[in-house]
Structure 1
Amino acid sequence: MATFQIKTVSTFSSLPEQITDAALSPYKTRQDKMNNAVFIALFSILTATQACCFDPDVCDVIRVESWSEKYAKKVVEDASYVLNMTVVDRQSAAECNLGESFGYQKNNLWVDHGCRADFKVCYLPVSPIRCRVVKAESWSYKYAETYVVDAALFINMTIEDQQSAASCDLDKTFGFYNQNSTVWVNNGCRADFNVCFVYGITRITTINVSSWNFKYSTQILNTLPSATCIYSMQVANQQSTAPCTLGTTFGFMANTMWVRDGCRADFTVNYYIV
């Protein structure tokens, strides 16, 4: 099977300064380990096949244990990122609650506060990546975007052939924007770029997720038979008087949305199918 290596991987990025999104906000609580894992989940992949789509997801039963109430984690070997994690057999007296005493990020599982259990863990194997040469041009020094067909999540973008006298610098005058599968240029940069990305289709939906009686609640975005990953989640129509704040009272991890502390709302959810 043919493989290739990406020599330079741009980290979480490639948004010009004038573009912002709530999904990019830093988190300051335990949810840091999970909430926005999806958006950056595949930037660390360095090898991939030249296949056109993901292999089916794989599920295994894996034991993860928090002893003496301490935080512990375990890497899922051969996984690009975890899709879901559920308790199969709990051994601890302590509760095991998703997002509170156990969870996942990228290809890591974690437990805390004494949670010890066997978990059913579903994940995607190391992910196939495509590369394509894309022309993007900033004329009269104006900002411009180019849509990249079938790009679910960008991995890297490098200059193949520059035509402009104006400089082309990653994250300054060119970059990529995962929110709508586009690459962008600005300030006169014009070039052919080699763009590498995870193959897939982006979608958007509106879904209600509610925390009743101020309890923690989760809901899985399930578009089987395709695997899904959420990359942004915003309030569309709030029903609760309790606040709905991204990263505090609502958020997401892989294909799972969560709410807590009385947040109830219809959410606009952007996700990709791979």
Structure 2
Amino acid sequence: MKRFVSSVLVLALVVPSLGQSAYAGQTVRCESSNGQYKSCPVDTRGGVTLSRQLSSSGCWQNDTWGYDRNRVWVTNGCRAEFNVGDYQSSGHDNSNAVAGAVVVGLIGAAILANKNKKDRDRDRYYDDDRYNGGNYYQPSNTVRCESNDNNYVRCPFYGRGHVEVQRQLSKTYCQYGQNWGVERNTIWVENGCRADFAVY
């Protein structure tokens, strides 16, 4: 029993240091010059948030900027600094809860909660739930745009200009900047991307 309690105490002391070192935050600058698509390689497993916009052109997530597992991308003139993998405080708070409780079950729960949080942040680009500063919001309208036979197609829309994939219809994955995008008040698709797009 003493050995068990000692092991719990060791884990409670070790987990905070692991949480602080695993995803130490960094700042990455990524700039779309002349409206061109730009990809900036970086490890994004800890999540990405926009820290400071540098451009007069708007930077909207999944519209003029986004990220996947190994890069941040920008387009249409978005220039900004991004916080990458900055989850020290989140991991530390979970670890302090573990240390206070000194219970094996809480240690496991804290580790799983932290992992799930990082997974949700990492995969936010692929999520169908629309998220904006902690609040869910509704699109002003929906536009269906389909690249049949891999053709390049343009679909006009009305709205402020923030566009996201609402529902993918094709087997081909629709990835912004690769086989779909936005130019002024037009959505374009190609290479088999077919989807319903939400316009905000």
Normalization by structure 1: what TM-score?
0.26
Decide which structure has greater helix share: 2
Decide which structure has greater strand share: 1
Normalization by structure 2: what TM-score?
0.35
